[in-house]
Structure 1
Amino acid sequence: MKVELIFITPDAEKLIESAGRTCYQSFGKQGKDTEKAFIRMLVKMGHLSVLEHASATFRVSGVSRAFTHQFVRHRLCSYSQQSQRYVDESNFSYVEPESIKNNPEAHSKFIEFMDGAKKTYSELQKLGIKNEDARFVLPNAVETQIVATANLREWRHIIELR
């Protein structure tokens, strides 16, 4: 898995501090390098709504479709995932769970199944079946990538859960 930060709200800490200081009318206490300590205090107090003013966008790649099915259950994110409708998956890569990889018999069956799925997908394409329909034979192990944007409070929540 590779996680790449694509974008974050410019001056996010300054924005969060300003939002928090609005709640307490404590602008006079603002100064150079006060953001981190103030934000830490707010988080410690459980005043997390201020984190919703800033957002971050990440690209997550080298993950399975099974992973992204779980990931997109976080409803406060915006997602863009690699399409199996438009992308030709005839030479797909896949993610193999460690438990399967470490069991020689299971690994052999897994590879056999992946090879069979690739073959069937390609055969369907040769029969004139469009990618959007041929994809129905693809396994959840197919490697994909997804871009996700959320506010910082939601990212904190996701990290705590996952």
Structure 2
Amino acid sequence: MSATSQNVRLLAVTPNALELIYAAFRQCYHAGYVGDMWDRLLSGEISRGKQADFVARILTSGHESPVEHVSFTFAIEGVSRTLTHQLVRHRIASYSQQSQRYVDAKDFDYVLPPSLAKVPEARARYEAFMREAATAYRDLQALLVASGREARASNEDARFVLPGGVETKIVATMNCRSLLHFFELRCCMRAQWEIRALAGRMLALCREALPVIFSAAGAKCERLGYCPEDERFSCGKYPVRRENLHNPA
């Protein structure tokens, strides 16, 4: 068992993502049937540049629902159960997480918070506790098996001693609109450090795959031009909303 680090891989994006979003937007404003233009989109007869310009222009009006037709799927490892408890609160998404019932965790890795890593005494105590938790987990497994419990089933109740810092792996799928909302909340400096780091990695992958949607994505203040938080919680990058309203640019 040891401290681990985040790793995110983009597994899949809806095929022909730009063309699909363009077609969905066009259907909202087009008297005809976009199915008839689909082959022209795929062939490049209607250039990707033209499609991207149209999508970007409509997005600035606040019309976002057509981007829901495209989804991204990520494989995520090196994150804590503390993080995934936050992640799964984003409900318009699909998740498949490593099970502590079926996966033996006696040699678990863990996430080491940077604040603890900077203080030698805090790090030592944290890592000692992780070793204690692993020992307790193995002891409980052995006691349950000795009592007649099936070895694999012993994980089910032994896992109750595992701390929130235990490393886990998860596959997550979100559509573009859900991702934009996720980035607005989790790229903010007020977000917990671990999920903020995850959001940054996911956003970099999204920008590379579909820049027309994600080039300007990020914390909500980036879109608004002001901080929507109370001034007590603002990081100071943008003026808070009260200041912005009283001092218009």
| TM band (smaller chain) | over 0.9
Greater strand fraction, Structure 1 or Structure 2: 1
Quote the residue 1:131 is aligned against: 155
* TM-score normalised by length of structure 2: 0.62
Distance in 2, matches of 1:37 and 1:134, equals 55
Quote the residue 1:109 is aligned against: 125
Residue 25 (str. 1) matches residue 30 (str. 2): yes
AA at the equivalent of 2:136: T
Distance in 2, matches of 1:121 and 1:54, equals 42
The structure 2 residue matched to 1:15, chosen from 11, 20, 34, is 20
Structure 1 runs (4+) greater than 4 angstroms displaced: none
Q: Which moved more, 1:31-40 or 1:104-113?
A: 31-40
Quote the residue 1:122 is aligned against: 138
AA at the equivalent of 2:95: Y
Question: Identity over the aligned pairs, expressed in percent?
Answer: 49
AA at the equivalent of 1:42: I
Alignment of 1:3-152 (within 5 A): 3-25=8-30, 31-33=46-48, 34-127=50-143, 128=145, 130-152=154-176
Deviation at 1:110, TM superposition (A): 0.1
How many residues align? The count is: 161
Deviation at 1:6, TM superposition (A): 0.9
Larger Rg: 2
AA at the equivalent of 2:47: K
Gaps of 5+ in 1: none
Gaps of 5+ in 2: 1-5, 187-249
Deviation at 1:108, TM superposition (A): 1.0
Deviation at 1:156, TM superposition (A): 1.2
Distance in 1, matches of 2:51 and 2:108, equals 45
* TM-score normalised by length of structure 1: 0.94
